[in-house]
Structure 1
Amino acid sequence: MASKFGEKIRNLREQKGLLLREVAPLLNIDTPQLSKIERGERQAKKEFIEIFAQVLDIDIDSLLKLWLADQMYSIIKEEPLAKEAIEELTNVFNESK
């Protein structure tokens, strides 16, 4: 599965007409690393989210949600009971409100 976070970053970057080589230095990474993040082959560091939000002019919370979803998916994607675990976690969150 492709990274929803990476797809969003790539789409926003392209909409703004920014090149990989323009954005990567802002994150202190090289262009191939940013390309891998966009393709879902590498996970972005959490500290990148604020930079992406500023550069791409998007709400930081929406990016954080996508980033967290990708993080969770990468942990549980191979687990046979992943969907059931997510349902259980949802119940826990709902009960704690």
Structure 2
Amino acid sequence: MKNIGQILRELRESKGLLLREVGAELSLDPTLLSKIERNDRMPTKEQAKSLSDFYGDKKNEVIIAWLSDKLVYEVQDEDLGLAAMKVAEQKIEYLKTQKTK
């Protein structure tokens, strides 16, 4: 399974772009982008949104990877983490049905 950093690096490399080119386009420090791609740092919500917009054809893939990495980071060391995520999934489904009423 790929994490957000791996996905972003692959997307950048597949387009033949350098870190500094992506950084200049998004007004992000190339050093920060490098840390994100190496998974030394998690992008903020705003950075993830900017990157997903930049890699438009893979927008959903970037956002899903960012969200899933955030969830894993929060619950990975919890004994009941997986059970809690299953309950959270049920809650999300319930809230979706409430919004449509």
Same fold by TM-score greater than 0.5: yes
User: With CA pairs under 8 Å and 6+ residues apart, which has the higher RCO, 1 or 2?
Assistant: 1
Q: CA deviation at 1:73?
A: 1.4
- Runs of at least 4 residues off by over 4 Å: none
TM-score in terms of structure 1 length: 0.79
Unmatched runs of 5 consecutive residues or more in structure 2: none
Match of 2:17 in 1: 18
Match of 1:48 in 2: 47
Which amino acid in structure 1 is aligned with residue 37 of structure 2? E
Between the aligned partners of 2:90 and 2:56, the Cα distance in structure 1 is 34
Q: State the Cα RMSD in Å.
A: 2.2
Q: CA deviation at 1:6?
A: 1.3
Match of 1:69 in 2: 68
Which amino acid in structure 2 is aligned with residue 83 of structure 1? L
Rg (Cα) greater in structure? 2
Deviations along 1:12-41, whole A, 9 cap, x unmatched? 100000011111233333222111101211
Between the aligned partners of 2:89 and 2:53, the Cα distance in structure 1 is 31
Q: CA deviation at 1:56?
A: 2.5
Between the aligned partners of 1:10 and 1:59, the Cα distance in structure 2 is 13
Paired positions, count: 96
Q: CA deviation at 1:67?
A: 1.1
Which amino acid in structure 2 is aligned with residue 17 of structure 1? G
Relative to its length, the structure with more helix (as a share) is 2
Unmatched runs of 5 consecutive residues or more in structure 1: none
Is 64-73 or 45-54 further displaced after alignment?
45-54
